[in-house]
Structure 1
Amino acid sequence: MFSPFERLFAWRYLRARRQEGFISVIALFSFLGIALGVAALIIVMSVMNGFRQELTSQILGINGHIAVFGTMGPMDDYDVLRKKIEKLPGITQVAPVVENQAMAIAHGQAMGVQVNGMFLEDLKNRKNVSEKIIAGGMKYYTTPSSILVGARLAEKMGLSIGDKLTIVAPEGTSTAFGTVPRTKTFTVAGIFEVGMYQYDSGFVFVPIETAQKFFQMGEGVSGLEIFTTDPNQKDKFKEEIIPLLHDHRARMFDWQEANSKFFTAVEVERNVMFVILTLIILVASFNVISSLIMLVKDKGRDIAILRTMGASRGMIMRIFFLTGSTLGLVGTTLGSVLALLFCWNIERIRKFIESLSGSNLFNSEIYFLSKLPAKVDTTEVALVIGIALGLTFLASLYPSWRASKLDPVEALRYE
């Protein structure tokens, strides 16, 4: 496509010479702008993808893909509905749960928590809990007064294995002397660390029989959490479950509806950052235009001589197009390599910067996760590279066209 003659002159124009120093500085900044813009865009998109993936994996590891909860209080006939749903193809588990808000008190501190009552076997199937216990163990969960707490909650309240934790129910017990707060003291049997601040600081698990008695639910439960073979096919499974709910006072929602605020926030921020960082590449492309226009003006005499020696307009245009597109190609390549290296080592880089600055760059209380995630999507990387190359190629066209239209007679008139 490009002859050796055209490549030779394009390469010569890219190299700095003393009288062209200013033009070379502009070209350098154009090159760096493209590289940094591409790197920033790929890194941000990868981090956003990592956020979404981590949130999804943590949420699906704790909560069911579909939830069916009673609309008129506890579900007393949950076992009948459970057996019906378990017969549907693609359903892997249906777990009854008792959920309620309560106050946890220990060592003079009080915090709001969500109490989750579950059978031992169902809790063992929640790998994000059962396989992430950092102290104690599931074997202690069998006693009625045992409780599993999150690592952040244990840290804030100074809890360790064997400590006592008092749970206060939101509804009191009516007596002849008025309403008395309903409390129960539990023994910490295990401490888990999921890696998501919301769960590690606000979730506790107790045996389901204890939760039923404590929240005065009788033999009923709050609802059923349903796990499927593919959480992304939730709508298909919901259509199959809806007919089964006609005889039960229950409502149904899926994991995306229950956590829509998280995913909406990540998606909006991701789209906004994509637009903003694309503008960086666009600005760098304008720098390519300005540097090439200045180069064309500076090389007017050279262009005229080349034209008189037999160079065609197309050859002149290709020389300057190759000069500008090389800036974009090399800048995009460098930016992509830097971005991939950064994403693959992002957690090490974060810890290194934190050790130097002495500050916490990724607070789990703000960002929900305990580590900085990054997931490189090859399709998105290819899209970013295509956008960067497309903008720089387009930016090189006009100056190249101007160079090809230069009149040799006018250029050499005063030489």
Structure 2
Amino acid sequence: MRLPIFFANRYLFSKKTINAINIISAISVVGVLISTAALVIVLSFYNGLEKFILSQYSVFSPELRIEPVKGKVFSTKDPKFEELRKNPKVTSYSEVLEDKVLAEYNNHQFIAKVKGIEPKSILTHASHEMLFAGTLNVRLDSIDHAILGALVQANLQVPIQGLNNQLTLNIPDKKASPNNINPIEDIRTRKIPASAILNNQPGFDDLILVPIDFAKDLLNEYDQITAIELYGSNDNSAQLKNEIQKKLGKEYLVKNREEQNPTLYKTVRSEKWIVFFIVTIIGIIAIFNIIGSLTMLVIDKKKDIVVLKSLGANHQLIQNIFFYQGIMIALIGSTVGALLGLGFCIAQDVFGFVKTSEGSLFDAYPVDIRYSDFFIIIVTILVVSTLVSYLASRLNIREFNKINMLDSN
């Protein structure tokens, strides 16, 4: 094993002469290097974009959300829900009631989503960073108020300050009597003043946050809710999720953030891996330079091969010399490329020199370095390089032997 590696090392790092073979080998190393660095940079940039996009949606998504398996609403009169509220592992517990409503103000109309929450849990549903204007509260001086999404305010033009800032919310009464002669009696209508406007962000642009008591009165749903939104006392949400699911049974679903937005998560991640495979294919093309490098090396070292055979070297040993040289080219290129890619990503994260266009949500492209990606990249490059080196060394030595047999005849 040591002898093939010794010869491969001597051929790759020959100090006596620099000829075309050394240059071709260097080009092969550079090809692997650039491919690896490109994969590291592209995946890190996509990780940054993925993290940013998901953070925009996760800002308003609770850590855990309990929903019924069947139907849209459920009752919380079961004692296990009260036990869950008192669970020391749960830092925030809020019952939620939500539905689509027709919002009106000053002859403007908009279909919005009203979401009733417990007033004390407002900071778990929104933060001051999300606030564009107004006061982040759904109950001021014992009076119910609404917090509007940016799209709602843009369509209704509701002022935050002043006396005349009450918007009207309308929804068909699900419990209306079928004997009503007047259709207006089938519509429930309530008025509520606006206290704040949220920033323009996907996920809550069409939202109207109100106290849950107001939502129950508006929707005529006093005994049931749509969901329960929870936040845990630590980051081990998977364990808390399993614990709550086991306690509530099969009648309820306990969803984490990914399960609340499955399409979004799948789309973002699939885009990342599609780009990974595209760049990998480009990298494989660069790795095929190893074939040319080994082919030229076999031709150049023809005399050395003859000498080694005369000294008793077998076919496998000679083949391994060129095989290990291909592995060395891939190992050097991938290692240096990964380090250069890592350095570039760290520099981008610190200095942000790759800027975005004006009007973007961020000034510089975000970067998220995940070392699991490095492992995947290195393994991919080495596996492909190993296969290419093995095939190239085997085919070249076989052809060399055939030529020698013909020459001897």
TM range (shorter): 0.7 to 0.9
1:179 aligns with 2:184: yes
Change in CA separation of 1:330 and 1:149 when aligned onto 2, cut-off 3 Å: farther
Aligned-partner Cα distance in 2 for 1:160–1:37: 55
Closer, same or farther in 2 for the Cα pair 1:12/1:162, shift >3 Å? Answer: farther
Counterpart of 2:387 (choices 394, 397, 405) is 394
* Residue 303, structure 1, aligned to residue 304, structure 2: yes
Partner of 1:378: 371
Partner of 2:194, secondary structure, is strand
Deviations 1:298-343 (A, max 9, x none): x155535864997956886565445433432232134323433454
Aligned identity (percent) is 19
Normalising to structure 2: TM-score of the pair? Answer: 0.72
Q: Determine the structure 2 residue equivalent to 1:325.
A: 327
Q: Say what the alpha-carbon RMSD is for the aligned residues.
A: 4.7
Which residue of 1 is the match for residue 170 of structure 2? 169
Inter-CA distance 159–325: structure 2 relative to 1 (3 Å threshold): farther
**Where does 1:1-400 land on structure 2 (aligned, <5 Å)?**
1=2, 7-12=9-14, 17=19, 20=20, 24=23, 28=27, 30-46=28-44, 49=47, 51=50, 55=54, 58-59=57-58, 62-63=61-62, 65-69=64-68, 78=77, 82-87=81-86, 90-105=89-104, 110-126=109-125, 128-129=126-127, 132-138=130-136, 141-142=139-140, 144-151=143-150, 154=153, 161-162=160-161, 164=165, 166-171=167-172, 177-179=182-184, 182-193=188-199, 197-199=202-204, 201-218=205-222, 220-229=224-233, 230-233=236-239, 234-242=241-249, 251-255=252-256, 256-297=258-299, 299-301=300-302, 303=304, 307=308, 320-321=322-323, 323-344=325-346, 345=348, 352-354=355-357, 374-400=367-393
Question: Is the 8 Å Cα contact of residues 137 and 145 (structure 2) preserved in structure 1?
Answer: no
Between 1:8-17 and 1:223-232, the stretch displaced more is 8-17
What is the DSSP-based 3-state SS (H/G/I as helix, E as strand, rest coil) of the residue aligned with 1:62?
A: coil
Instruction: Tell me which amino acid in the other structure corresponds to 1:386.
Output: V
State the distance in 1 between where 2:36 and 2:158 align: 47
Q: Distance in 2 between matches of 1:33 and 1:106?
A: 63
Q: Quote how far apart the aligned CAs of 1:107 are.
A: 7.7
- In the TM superposition, what whole-angstrom CA distance separates every residue of 1:98-124 from its partner, at most 9, and x where no partner exists? 211123456876543321111221122
- On the 8 A contact 1:308/1:408 being kept in 2, the answer is no
Q: Distance in 2 between matches of 1:107 and 1:40?
A: 55
For structure 1, the residue ranges without an aligned partner over 5 or more in a row are: 246-250
| Structure 1 residue 270, shift from structure 2 partner | 4.6
Query: Contact conserved, 1:96 with 1:118, CA < 8 A, in 2?
Result: yes
Aligned residues: 390
Structure 1 pair 150–73 and aligned structure 2 pair: CA distance change class (3 A): closer
Contact 1:141 1:148 in 2 (8 A): no
Matched residue type, 2:136: M
State the alpha-carbon separation in 1 of the partners of residues 353 and 153 from structure 2.
Answer: 26
On the 8 A contact 1:145/1:210 being kept in 2, the answer is: yes
- SS of the residue corresponding to residue 354 of structure 1 reads coil
Residue 214 of structure 1: how far off its partner (Å) = 2.3
Aligned partners of 1:320 and 1:400 also within 8 Å: yes
Deviation at 1:228, TM superposition (A): 3.9
Aligned-pair distance for 1:212? Answer: 2.1
Give the helix-richer structure, 1 or 2.
Answer: 1
Equivalent position amino acid for 2:378 in 1: I
What one-letter code is carried by the residue in structure 2 that aligns with 1:381? Answer: F
Deviation at 1:399, TM superposition (A): 3.8
8 Å Cα contact 2:352/2:365 also seen in 1: no
Question: Residues 207 and 264 from structure 1, CA distance in 2 versus in 1: closer, same or farther, beyond 3 angstroms?
Answer: same
Question: In the TM superposition, what is the alpha-carbon distance from 1:240 to its structure 2 partner?
Answer: 0.8
Q: Deviations over 1:239-273 (max 9, x none)?
A: 11228x7xxxxx44423443222233344445544
Query: Larger deviation: 343-352 or 115-124?
Result: 343-352
Q: Note if contact 2:101-2:111 (Cα within 8 Å) is conserved in structure 1.
A: yes
Structure 1 residues 370 and 346, CA gap change in structure 2 (3 angstroms) = same
Do the aligned partners of 1:162 and 1:187 also contact (CA within 8 Å) in 2? no
Aligned-partner Cα distance in 1 for 2:78–2:402 = 91
Aligned-partner Cα distance in 1 for 2:88–2:325: 61
Q: Which amino acid aligns with 1:254?
A: K
In structure 1, C-alpha distance between the alignment counterparts of 2:17 and 2:104, rounded to whole Å: 71
Q: Whole-Å Cα distance in 1 between the matches of residues 156 and 82 of structure 2?
A: 40
